A = this chain, B = another copy of it.
Amino acid sequence: MKTISCRFLDSQDENGTITIKPLGKAKNGVSKPMLPGWKDIVTEIVIDKEYTDGLDGIEDYSHVIIVYWMDKEKECHLKHHPQGRADVPFIGIFACRCPQRPNPIGISTTEIISVKDNIIKVKGLDVIDNTPILDIKPYTPQYDSALNAKVPEWVDKLDY
């Protein structure tokens, strides 16, 4: 069976520490995070040219999950009020999607607008300009979507 291999961007040392290099960057000219306001923002995900062929076939999906590194986040919270909102409970960082995490990895599901060469154009992605991109995954409801998922009521008060 045909396989074309590529170069790993990672390694892991004997203490379990992982080293990662981004695949590329997000380009959208947005200089600061905002809440809300991302819905109509168009972002170009520009990946290193050596990975261009890795995008073959992605145009047959409507959505992708972008995995990124929130490199401008300088706070790490164990517990807080999500989005700094006094009207929602004081909860753990793993019970919300806020960026102030021990490992500031973000994952966002976003609509594909176009794919050309080493660039995927997406709409509604909530990242600022130059955010490092770690991975691109096709959104696959069979795998990603949970039916009848339950969330706490305060989640509906937040901005997305």
Residues of A within 8 A of B (CB): 1-10, 12, 16-23, 51, 53-58, 60-65, 67, 69, 71, 75-81, 84, 86, 89-97, 101-105, 107-109, 111, 132, 134-146, 148-152, 155-156, 160
17 intermolecular pairs with C-beta atoms under 8 Å apart: A6-B77, A6-B93, A16-B21, A18-B71, A19-B19, A23-B102, A56-B92, A58-B92, A58-B95, A60-B152, A61-B95, A67-B107, A102-B135, A103-B134, A141-B146, A141-B149, A144-B144
**Interface SS majority for chain A:** mixed
Q: Which has the most chain B C-beta neighbours within 10 Å: A2, A3, A134?
A: A3
In the complex, the answer to whether A95 meets B134 with C-beta atoms within 8 Å is no
Contacts of A22 in B (CB 8 A): 16, 18
The residue that A150 contacts in the complex, of B61, B77, B144, B146, with Cβ under 8 A, is B61
In the complex, the answer to whether B16 meets A18 with C-beta atoms within 8 Å is no
Determine the distance from Cα of A90 to Cα of B9 in the docked complex, in whole angstroms: 22
In the complex, the answer to whether B151 meets A141 with C-beta atoms within 8 Å is yes
In the complex, the answer to whether B63 meets A149 with C-beta atoms within 8 Å is yes
In the complex, the answer to whether A57 meets B10 with C-beta atoms within 8 Å is no
Contacts of A61 in B (CB 8 A): 95, 149-152
In the complex, the answer to whether A17 meets B19 with C-beta atoms within 8 Å is yes
Measured CB to CB, the closest approach of chain B to A15, in angstroms, equals 8
In the complex, the answer to whether B54 meets A104 with C-beta atoms within 8 Å is no
In the complex, the answer to whether B141 meets A77 with C-beta atoms within 8 Å is no
